[in-house]
Amino acid sequence: MAEEKKAKKKFKPYKKTKPCPKCGSGVRLAEHANRRSCGKCGYFEKK
């Protein structure tokens, strides 16, 4: 019996998003295709 060892580890690296300049480091900006936006204060910036 041949034992096949699959040592493929698949993991997603944590994406670090920018913190909101208005709300502080506790609030991260949501990533969009062409902009980043804050869901708390409505701040957004173009990429």
Residues that bind Zn ion (CB under 5 A): 20, 22-23, 38, 40-41, 43
In the complex with Zn ion, the residue whose CB is nearer, 18 or 22, is 22
Measure the CA–CA gap between 14 and 11, rounded to whole angstroms. Answer: 9
Dist CA 6 CA 40 (whole Å):
43
Cβ nearer to Zn ion, comparing 22 with 32: 22
The nearest distance, CB 41 to Zn ion, in angstroms, is 3
**Whose Cβ is closer to Zn ion: residue 2's or residue 30's?**
30
Q: Encoding tokens for residue 10?
A: 């698949």
DSSP-assigned beta bridge partners for residue 38: none
